[in-house]
């Protein structure tokens, strides 16, 4: 099970959001690069940079995410307001392993089809779920959409990887949405990265049993509820028994 620590960027600082809400955030550091280095020192081999600023005012921290990749030497995946061809093209020029497109923020399917046709191997489709559904909010497409039905549609378009994030559980430390993930994993044949609510080792083990490819972990790493040190192998995969150095 690949472990991916999350670094959320809001006003250039590292924050944690409660239930995905920027208005309910806690600041943990003024130095995102230092946070990235600390996670790498615990054995992480991939980081998840979530650009909250890009969703609020259009400032996209691609250069910062790229610096994390270059200076730490580990993989970095990037999520935020990647919802048009120009922004996606700019992101693809940076040394970022995976770009996560938030489906609820993208209008229509033309952009998605074109992006997947050209760059499917570097893209993951982000299913951000509230109360069991993806809440799409654009002039062209709005309303609640079943994430399993949406996942099937995206896979038919060429999607090769999904990120399932339960925003109701995000930052709450109450455990993942096992039922939602089970429903998704039972019908898709592409890798799924899980996010939201992960607080301790048993959550990680349960998600691995369900068949998730990887987990994004945020708040629990900042509060100290969960420590990675001694539990990640050389690939950044979780080991239940401490890894000997």
Q: Residue 196 pLDDT > 90, yes or no?
A: yes
The pLDDT tens digits of the residues spanning 40-97 come to: 999 999 999 999 999 898 888 999 999 999 999 999 999 998 989 999 999 999 999 9
Q: Top-level CATH class of 2-223?
A: alpha beta
137: exposed, middle or buried (Cβ count in 10 Å: 0-12, 13-18, 19+): exposed
Q: pTM of the predicted model, to two decimals?
A: 0.95
Nearest 5°: phi and psi at 180?
-65, -40
- 168 pLDDT band, cuts 50/70/90, is very high
Residue 123's pLDDT is what? Answer: 98
Q: Which two tokens stand for residue 123?
A: 């893209």
Helical spans, DSSP H, in 26-84:
32-41, 52-56, 62-72
Contact call for residues 76 and 46 (beta carbons, < 8 A)? yes
């Amino acid at each position: 099970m690949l472990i991916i620590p999350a670094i959320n960027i809001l006003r250039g600082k590292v924050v944690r959001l409660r239930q995905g809400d920027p208005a309910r955030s806690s600041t943990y550091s003024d130095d995102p690069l230092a946070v990235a280095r600390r996670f790498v020192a615990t054995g992480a081999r991939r980081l998840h940079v979530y650009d909250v600023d890009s969703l609020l005012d259009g400032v996209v921290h691609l250069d910062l995410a790229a610096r994390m990749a270059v200076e730490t030497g580990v993989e970095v995946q990037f999520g935020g307001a990647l919802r048009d061809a120009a922004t996606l093209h700019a992101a693809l020029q940076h040394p970022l392993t995976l770009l996560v497109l938030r489906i609820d923020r993208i209008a229509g399917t033309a952009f998605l089809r074109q992006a997947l046709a050209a760059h499917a191997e570097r893209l993951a489709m982000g299913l951000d779920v509230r109360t069991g559904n993806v809440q799409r909010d654009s002039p062209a497409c709005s309303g609640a959409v079943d994430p399993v039905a949406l996942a099937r549609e995206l896979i038919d378009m060429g999607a090769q990887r999904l990120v399932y994030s339960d925003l109701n559980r995000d930052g709450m430390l109450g455990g993942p949405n096992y039922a939602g993930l089970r429903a998704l994993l039972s019908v898709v044949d592409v890798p799924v990265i899980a996010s939201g609510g992960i607080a301790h080792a048993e959550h990680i083990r349960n998600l691995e049993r369900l068949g998730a490819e990887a987990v994004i972990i945020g708040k629990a790493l900042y509060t100290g509820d969960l420590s990675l040190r001694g539990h990640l192998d050389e690939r950044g995969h979780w080991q239940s028994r401490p890894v000997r150095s």
